[in-house]
Amino acid sequence: MSYLGIDLGTGSLKLAIVDGDGRETSTASVGYAIETPHPGWAETDPQTWWRALCEASARLPASERDAIEAIGFSGQMHGVVLTDAHGDAVRHAMLWPDTRALALLDAWPEPQPNPVAPGMAGPLLRWITQHEPEHVENARWALQPKDWLRVAMGGDVATDPSDACATALAEPTGVWDVALLDRLGLPRSWFAALAPSSAACGALSTKAAHALGLRPGIPLATGAADTPCAALGSGLVSDGDALLTTGTGGQIVVLSTDEPSFARGLHRYRAATGDWYRMAAMQNVGVALEAVRGWLSYEWSDAYRDAFATESDANAISFLPYLTGERTPWLNPAARGGWLGLALGASRGALMRAAFEGVAFALRAGLDAIRESGATVDALRLAGGGSVDTRWRQLLADALDVELHAVDCPNAAARGAALLGGLACGHWRADELATLAPRAMRVAAPGSDRAIAARYARFIDLYGRVESWF
């Protein structure tokens, strides 16, 4: 027997099959592009997701597909898919990087229980009601991405608290805030009933089974948002367990069995297991490093070589990486990036080194917000494709002042989704999850760079000096 996890990401769809002992046996992925029909917009045709799912499924071994006992779901957070009564999208999905609703955030005055960004479902749906009345007329459901995919596969119309609480339309517990919906003029009927992430939520339809090369009737779990799925797949099951993921953006997640107290700039969301997590969300990790690599005309191998051959000191070049604004801790979508401290002798390697440090310092600012909220973080599990170089890992350990333990799980969110499938069909119990945690190996410890604290202080001072200029 085996369990399939589907991770519907922003730029790719990933599949992972795990066996009855929680071991990953097969994976597949298919990438796709975000559409930007207007500046600041970020959309995807949901049929692009469906085609990616069909293509990825075809890449899995037929013998393993035949053994699948349940399917779980993980999906990109915050965005929204408006559908008709049949579950067909009435327009392209609107995604979390979308900024078209930036001017509409006045409906969420501070303080909010969670930070509100323009790419969340609430501001996006408010924009829809003001600009696309024809789609409002045709809409029956406002679904999160992973919920749209589950419905397309034959599942029930539902969502889970981990996704609902990240829409800016729900209480921190994940329950829809009906007073807010009414104030915004959003129909209550658009919002699906809540179900636990590990609950059974329908079964694979005959039509979808034929398209995916699977047998019909396979139970479908409700699923969860990608960050809590990645936390589950990476082995976060106990109070205080912490994870750093580095991809396009970066997230630092700390699991909590009790509801965390309010802290400005931090998210407090529901976990896939029904617990809670604090999250610092930093928007500019891989996206900033990739931009700098392109500007400096580097191949990645050369970028690492030159950057880490360059010595840094207290007077080194500083780089603010905020190319797309920032969430934690600044909550400033207008923040921008750049180098300061250039001299005529500055090399490409020095500029690249400053970019790596700037990203590491942005992550440290997020971690400091978590520490200031009362959490003790001395070690982080490390996941994400942007964190495999040993020199970069050491810089992160020094900048964050933590031990880093690399998780032996390259597809953490998809694995977490598969575990939810196994829970939904009764193969595992929630109290057994700790025994399924993947292996983690210590790969870096802080202390190799004694001058880094001074450079981090300089970075924070620089942001404070230029914030009003943005």
Tens digits of residue pLDDT in 107-126: 999 888 898 989 999 999 99
User: Phi and psi for 322 in degrees, rounded to 5?
Assistant: -80, 65
Domain 2-227 class in CATH? alpha beta
- The reported pLDDT for the residue numbered 79 is 93
> Whole-model pTM?
0.88
- The reported pLDDT for the residue numbered 352 is 96
pLDDT of the chain, 470 residues: tens digit per residue:
899 999 999 889 999 999 999 999 999 999 999 999 998 899 999 999 999 999 999 999 999 999 999 999 999 999 999 999 999 999 999 998 898 999 999 999 988 889 898 999 999 999 999 999 999 999 999 999 999 999 999 999 999 999 999 999 999 889 999 999 999 999 999 999 999 999 999 999 999 999 999 999 999 999 999 999 999 999 998 889 999 988 888 999 999 988 888 888 899 999 999 899 999 999 899 999 999 999 999 999 999 999 999 777 766 899 999 998 898 999 888 899 999 999 998 999 999 999 999 999 999 999 999 999 888 999 999 986 667 889 999 999 999 999 999 988 888 899 999 999 999 999 999 888 888 888 889 999 998 788 899 999 999 999 999 999 98
* DSSP codes joined into one string, 363-394: HHHHHHHHHHTT---SEEEEESTT---HHHHH
Tokens of 43: 């959309």
The torsion of the CA quartet 363, 365, 368, 370, rounded to 10 degrees, works out to: -70
Q: How far apart are CA 13 and CA 30, in angstroms?
A: 5
For helices 300-308 and 348-372, the axis angle rounded to 10 degrees is: 80
Q: How far apart are CA 97 and CA 190, in angstroms?
A: 22
Superfamily for 235-408+439-470? Answer: ATPase, nucleotide binding domain (3.30.420.40)
For helices 452-466 and 348-372, the axis angle rounded to 10 degrees is: 80
- Cβ(291)–Cβ(188) under 8 Å? no
User: Which residues does 432 contact at the CB level (< 8 Å), separation at least 6?
Assistant: none
Matching CATH topology for 2-227 and 235-408+439-470?
yes
Q: How many CA atoms lie within 13 A of 341 on its CB side?
A: 19
- The reported pLDDT for the residue numbered 384 is 67
Beta bridge partners of 319: 339
Look at residues 187, 213, 75, 205 and name the one whose alpha carbon lies nearest to residue 151. Answer: 205
Tokens of 400: 């964050």
* DSSP codes joined into one string, 178-227: HHHHHHHT--GGGSPPB--TTSEEEE--HHHHHHHT--TT-EEE--EEHH
Q: How far apart are CA 182 and CA 124, in angstroms?
A: 16
User: Phi and psi for 317 in degrees, rounded to 5?
Assistant: -60, 140
- The reported pLDDT for the residue numbered 314 is 63
Q: How far apart are CA 202 and CA 218, in angstroms?
A: 9
State the pairing for strand pair 403-407/379-383: parallel
CA 350 to chain centre: 30
Instruction: Tell me which DSSP letter residue 174 carries.
Output: S
Q: What is the 3-class SS of 319-353, one letter each residue?
A: EECCECEECCCCCECCCCCEEECCCCCCCHHHHHH
3-state secondary structure of 19: strand
Q: How far apart are CA 310 and CA 317, in angstroms?
A: 11
- The single-letter code of the amino acid at 347 is S
**CA dist list (Å): 80 to 287, 341, 367, 378:** 22, 42, 28, 36
- Cβ(127)–Cβ(118) under 8 Å? no
- The single-letter code of the amino acid at 102 is L
- The reported pLDDT for the residue numbered 261 is 82
Name the residue ranges covered by the structural domains of the chain.
Answer: 2-227, 235-408+439-470
Q: How far apart are CA 386 and CA 286, in angstroms?
A: 7
Q: How far apart are CA 296 and CA 226, in angstroms?
A: 32
Q: How far apart are CA 250 and CA 329, in angstroms?
A: 13
User: Phi and psi for 277 in degrees, rounded to 5?
Assistant: -150, 145
3-state secondary structure of 98: coil
For the beta sheet containing 250-256, the strands, ordered from the edge strand earlier in sequence to the opposite edge, are 267-270, 276-282, 250-256, 242-246, 379-383, 403-407, 440-444
